[in-house]
A and B are shown apart, each in its own frame.
Chain A
């Protein structure tokens, strides 16, 4: 756990060349030329440091960040946390992705920076737990150095925005103190971190640290990197992951000028999904991308389906629905509070409804790619990954190199959403570099990306509730059927449900009898993690159903929700999880007030919809206003309130909340993956139409609950789950059509 990091390791202080002060985690026995750090920026000494902060003689501050930045603002937030402890001048701070930190401990990897993972909501909480120390220690050293130079005790000095200031007004810049500070003996015990009232950057707005490089086109994503002597590889994957290549004719391909080689790839059946090639493939390697693409067009391939060639998404959906209705079907009991059967006998009213969620692709803006150079005793990779340690595992297995001989750089990533927790494309690139004997730059085309993903599985959810005479929900049953995203990943059968449904999701803990069952479906279509799972699908079902309950009871859905949540209190949900109904009520009331719920819900010609949810220690609610003009659905307003505890960067948080809202709305409106005879039917953005400006609300009104007394929570996908049900509830108000199946537009147009 990263929380233990600061206790297990000591921070290390170095005197850098040219009078710099460097504080970081020590990186034992690393060779200077093995460092995962760009030498131009760092100079020699810093290569032996892990997550670090460096103060140069000219006052410039460089902060290394360990978790991949996938666009969730984590790198900026982490740098702000460290810079605040340091009392740095933010204008002088630059942020640098560290890449993978790995050392050789008796042939086994030792992870220099602890856990490294991006886009999974862990970056900020983990940094809060351990990285503040690096900034605090650097500041302490600078103050000690200043004390000696000024002849004033350190505790009478204060640090502010890159300066040490004495009581008599004398000032020394950090740059001028850096060399002396590097010679100060570090304290025996950890330096205390700041009290919140002293925060200068935390809680203040800041734009993305890479903004200038991005808007000028200078920022280099992994796919923008090049190696000398590289070959470009593009792929044609078999339509079926378990298919085979019956015949191949490469003559026309090899005749294309610039094409060098054609290589076949096969999945290794012994390997878990995500660590080997996803489906058999033929790669064309060429001197440039255009030659490779032309060569691929001229391949004559005869693929034969495997058993998955019989699969259809429509059949699978029918099976799911049948499982929900079949009380004798085998199911995993996810949660069982009270006695739903006994409660059912006291029913004043009972309601039941089923919801169907589609399969989804990731459609990362930057398609899968990987740059590899293999040498006798070294592998160098540039990988757009969310999990560099998992990428390392794949490279290690395929090359047999020692832990520290594998160097992985992770520049800013063009979107992750869970796709880049898997590394099939890294396996492909390494195998191709081995076959080619030259560096390889692998690039997936969009068609390959959409048709060969690890998809979010579709699911069906059946909910029934029992309501007593006072309109209290006394029993709640949810049955979920899906093909687990954890299958074929070494996860035991009795844990496969964990990617599909959460044991403590709403309204667990709020109703005396609650039962949740999960039924497994089988499918050979590859599946994996997706942003917001399992909340995205479950919140749609649950929060739509609460709206249906309100309608059945002929009352305002806000009142139904308020009654369900009850008094502000802490509800223990088991496994140490707690539902704070006060925080949930608060976000719900905030969005209701902002959208003018009490005035408008009944009277507006437009439809208003609500939804609320909890993920871990963070709370979210949406209110949506939708208008319908003929067949034209317009989202007039989208309001989102979040409570994430302490806010590091309000600008970054607002961007994440607005972005997740729009992503979730666009997904709910338009997107679904289907397969027929085992073939994915979506091959371009025409078949998988991400929503454009016109379909989305013009603004997302974001309300952030101040949470100074609580540690920060990850927020990158918090605003996803409630957007779609709030939209469906608004659509119901405006159209009287209850959409129980996504994507919404297709269903709405069918039912209107």
Chain B
């Protein structure tokens, strides 16, 4: 069964020596996992089918709905085979909020600007926006122009406002 592949890995720092076990170990939203299934499986299906983390969406190649952070870089989960992710740190939209449930400043800015249409592409905008803000805390309009997300609901202008609001400490 698919679920069997999704068990969290053993906690780090165990004293008892373990036999070498097959599988790909990676960190997702702060938890460690070992993938023992097909190494060519794209991360998107691992997240959605195996871990049931469905915040990252399928929209097709170049849609941007499937963006995740891998070691801090926004990449499409559809194009990341699990084999390439050993030892990597993945953050999905579910991992942006604090452990106490407090929203990431960009999530809060999306709420405040109502930068939401149907909401299907929103996780993609958030991941792309968080990466941009990490890279460039005061992004220019030209920086924002480069975000690789498609949005048929036309949220672009409100997303731009939300990113600027987050960059401005939450003030419009």
Q: Of B55, B93, B118, B147, which one neighbours A415 at CB under 8 angstroms? A: B118
Contacts of A690 in B (CB 8 A): 150-152
The distance in angstroms between the C-alpha atoms of A258 and B150, with both chains bound, is 32
B20 within 8 A of partner (CB):
no
Instruction: Determine whether A215 belongs to the interface, using a CB cutoff of 8 Å to chain B.
Output: yes
Given A216-B94, A217-B56, A685-B62, do A211 and B120 touch, yes or no (CB 8 Å)?
A: no
Q: Which residues of B contact A652 (CB under 8 A)?
A: 114
Query: Which residues of A sit under 8 angstroms from B116, Cβ to Cβ?
Result: 71, 207-208, 210-211, 214-215, 655
| A653–B148 alpha-carbon span in the complex (Å) | 26
Chain A interface helix/strand/loop/mixed: loop
User: A449 CA to B58 CA in the complex, in Å?
Assistant: 12
User: Of the candidates A214, A446, A694, which one forms a contact with B119 in the assembled complex, judged by CB atoms under 8 Å apart?
Assistant: A214
A659-B151 Cα distance, complex, nearest whole Å: 9
B150 touches A415 (CB 8 A): no
B32 to chain A, nearest CB (A): 20
* A663 at interface, CB cutoff 8 A: yes
Q: Which listed residue, B97, B103, B153, touches A659 by the CB 8 Å rule?
A: B153
* B49, A659: Cβ atoms closer than 8 Å: no
Point out the residues of chain B lying under 8 angstroms from A662, CB to CB.
154-157
B contact residues around A217 at 8 Å (CB): 53-56, 92-94, 96, 123
Query: Could you give, for residues 684-697 of chain A, a 1 whenever the CB lies within 8 Å of some chain B CB and a 0 otherwise?
Result: 11100010111011
The B interface is mostly helix, strand or loop, or mixed, namely: loop
Q: Is the CB of B38 within 8 A of A215?
A: no
B61 close to chain A: CB less than 8 A: yes
If A287-B2, A412-B118, A655-B114 touch, whether A71 touches B45 (CB-CB below 8 Å) is: no
> Is B60 a contact partner of A290 (Cβ separation < 8 A)?
no
- The segment out of A44-52, A359-367, A431-439, A511-519 that lies at the interface is A359-367
Name the residue of chain B whose CB is nearest to the CB of A363: B152
Q: In the complex where A290-B45, A446-B59, A446-B61 touch, is A224 in contact with B54 (Cβ < 8 A)? A: yes
- The answer to the question of B126 belonging to the interface, with a C-beta cut-off of 8 Å to chain A, is yes
Return the contact of A447 from the options B52, B60, B103, B145 (Cβ within 8 A): B60
A693 pairs with B145, CB closer than 8 A = yes
Determine the distance from Cα of A660 to Cα of B52 in the docked complex, in whole angstroms.
33
Q: Contacts of B48 on A, CB cut-off 8 Å?
A: 224, 289
| CA A658 to CA B158, docked complex, whole Å | 9
Q: Is the CB of B1 within 8 A of A365?
A: no
Taking the closest CB of chain A, its distance from the CB of B161, in whole angstroms, is: 8
Q: Which listed residue, A208, A212, A365, touches B152 by the CB 8 Å rule?
A: A365
Asked whether A594 is an interface residue with its Cβ less than 8 Å from the other chain, the reply is no
23 contacts between A and B (CB under 8 A): A70-B118, A207-B112, A207-B114, A207-B116, A215-B110, A215-B111, A216-B107, A217-B93, A289-B49, A365-B65, A365-B118, A365-B152, A366-B120, A367-B59, A415-B120, A446-B63, A447-B60, A652-B114, A663-B152, A663-B154, A684-B61, A685-B61, A696-B157
Query: 13 other contacts beyond A223-B54, A660-B154, with CB at 8 A cut-off?
Result: A211-B116, A212-B103, A212-B111, A216-B96, A216-B103, A217-B54, A288-B2, A366-B59, A366-B120, A415-B153, A662-B157, A685-B150, A690-B151
**Interface residues in chain B, defined as those with a beta carbon under 8 Å from any beta carbon in chain A:** 1-2, 38, 41-42, 45, 48-50, 52-63, 65, 92-94, 96-97, 103, 107, 110-112, 114, 116-123, 126, 141, 144-160
Nearest 8 Cβ contacts at the A-B interface: A217-B55, A446-B60, A71-B118, A662-B154, A414-B120, A659-B154, A217-B93, A224-B54
